């Protein structure tokens, strides 16, 4: 993953409003929100988003240091805090969740202190989650890495950003299939045709309130309820979005007695029960449920 020809800047602090332990950092960058961060060595993570490449290293006690190729360091210094949602006080948002009356939520919050939602570039968030259906994190990472290497611009030696939608519109469905997308290749291809023909599409999307933005996203081939909510939550800062996947379905059925509910009903319950930051609650429930599966 790391290229020997890359020079890295000196480590500098990333200032966040709340501490982030190494374990919770792992959950943030490799727990299903994003798919382009890889463990390089000794707890160092290397990631790519938009035109940025960075390394991240936990620092005692719960701080974070970053490094980037010198020619990108200015941009990364600017973009990294917003990517990590440094402008949001997640501790306050968490405190507003109904943990006082919801013991399961309280347990999840305690298990992953400082868990954050990333604020990712909207356009590539859509691409990643279009690739995500019935795939696990490792497989999604594999697909988007191939898309980047073969169709995205090189931003540092050996490191490529994800292709833009304009670039994707020129890639054949066949070439997308060879990036292991399978039936998702058609979704990406058709979506790219629509987006490339509407230069203003993402700007207009960001102006819309949550429900209308979700409807607009769902007009795109391959975007259903779950993918639309992931795109809005991780790429547009809509914290009320409550993506319901198999893990959340499992959690809500067993911990909230919602057996037999449809995913749509579960999503509605989630937004009502957890409130304005339902998506943040979702991330905690999701992390906790996955951790149960592993242990």
Partner DNA sequence: TGGGAACCTTT
Partner DNA sequence: AAGGTTCCC
Contacts with DNA by CB under 7 A lie at 31-32, 132-139, 142, 177, 180, 182-183, 187, 218, 220-228, 243, 245-247, 262, 286, 290
Tokens of 205: 């999307």
In the bound state with DNA, the residue whose beta carbon lies nearer, of 81 and 216, is 216
In contact, 150 and 175? CB cutoff 8 Å: yes
**CA 28, chain centre distance (Å):** 8
CB of 33 to DNA, least distance (A): 7
In the bound state with DNA, the residue whose beta carbon lies nearer, of 59 and 246, is 246
Across the beta sheet with 63-67, what order do the strands follow?
12-13, 63-67, 52-59, 44-49, 37-41
Phi-psi region of 216 (alpha: psi -120 to 50; beta: other; left: phi over 0): alpha
| Total Cβ atoms within 10 A of residue 5 | 8
Distance CA 91, CA 160 (A): 34
In the bound state with DNA, the residue whose beta carbon lies nearer, of 154 and 219, is 219
CB of 77 to DNA, least distance (A): 29
In the bound state with DNA, the residue whose beta carbon lies nearer, of 32 and 114, is 32
| Strand boundaries in the chain, DSSP class E | 12-13, 37-41, 44-49, 52-59, 63-67, 154-156, 159-160
Tokens of 179: 């990036």
CB of 181 to DNA, least distance (A): 7
CB of 95 to DNA, least distance (A): 24
In contact, 53 and 159? CB cutoff 8 Å: yes
In the bound state with DNA, the residue whose beta carbon lies nearer, of 54 and 220, is 220
In the bound state with DNA, the residue whose beta carbon lies nearer, of 14 and 141, is 141
CB of 17 to DNA, least distance (A): 24
In the bound state with DNA, the residue whose beta carbon lies nearer, of 75 and 177, is 177
Phi and psi torsions of 44, nearest 5°: -90, 130
In the bound state with DNA, the residue whose beta carbon lies nearer, of 14 and 127, is 127
CB of 290 to DNA, least distance (A): 6
CB of 146 to DNA, least distance (A): 10
CB of 182 to DNA, least distance (A): 3
Tokens of 141: 């990472």
In contact, 126 and 231? CB cutoff 8 Å: yes
**DSSP secondary structure string, 220-258?**
STT--HHHHHHHHHHHS--TT-----HHHHHHHHHHS--
């Amino acid at each position: 993953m790391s290229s020997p020809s890359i020079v890295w800047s000196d480590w500098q602090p990333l200032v966040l409003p709340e501490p982030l332990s190494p374990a919770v950092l792992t959950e943030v960058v490799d727990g299903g929100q994003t798919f382009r961060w890889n463990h390089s060595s000794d707890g160092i993570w290397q990631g790519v988003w938009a035109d940025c490449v960075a390394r991240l290293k936990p620092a005692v006690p719960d701080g974070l240091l970053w490094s980037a190729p010198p020619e990108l360091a200015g941009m990364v210094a600017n973009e990294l805090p917003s990517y990590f949602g440094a402008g949001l006080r997640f501790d306050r948002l968490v405190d507003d969740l109904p943990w006082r009356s919801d013991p399961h939520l309280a347990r999840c919050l305690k298990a992953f202190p400082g868990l954050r939602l990333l604020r990712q570039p909207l356009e590539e968030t859509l691409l990643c989650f279009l690739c995500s259906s019935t795939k696990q994190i490792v497989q999604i990472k594999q697909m988007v890495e191939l898309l980047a290497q073969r169709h995205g611009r090189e931003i540092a030696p050996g490191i490529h950003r994800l292709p833009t939608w304009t670039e994707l519109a020129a890639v054949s469905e066949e070439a997308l299939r060879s990036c292991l997308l399978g039936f998702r290749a058609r979704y990406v291809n058709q979506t790219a045709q629509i987006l490339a023909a509407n230069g203003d599409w993402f700007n207009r999307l960001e102006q819309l309130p949550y429900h209308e933005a979700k409807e607009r996203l769902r007009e795109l081939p391959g975007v259903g309820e779950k993918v639309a909510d992931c795109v809005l939550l991780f790429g547009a800062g809509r914290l009320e979005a409550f993506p319901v996947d198999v893990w959340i379905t499992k959690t809500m059925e067993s911990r909230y007695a919602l057996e037999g509910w449809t995913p749509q009903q579960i999503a509605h319950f989630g937004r009502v029960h957890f409130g304005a930051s339902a998506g943040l609650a979702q991330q905690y429930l999701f992390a906790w449920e996955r951790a149960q599966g592993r242990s």
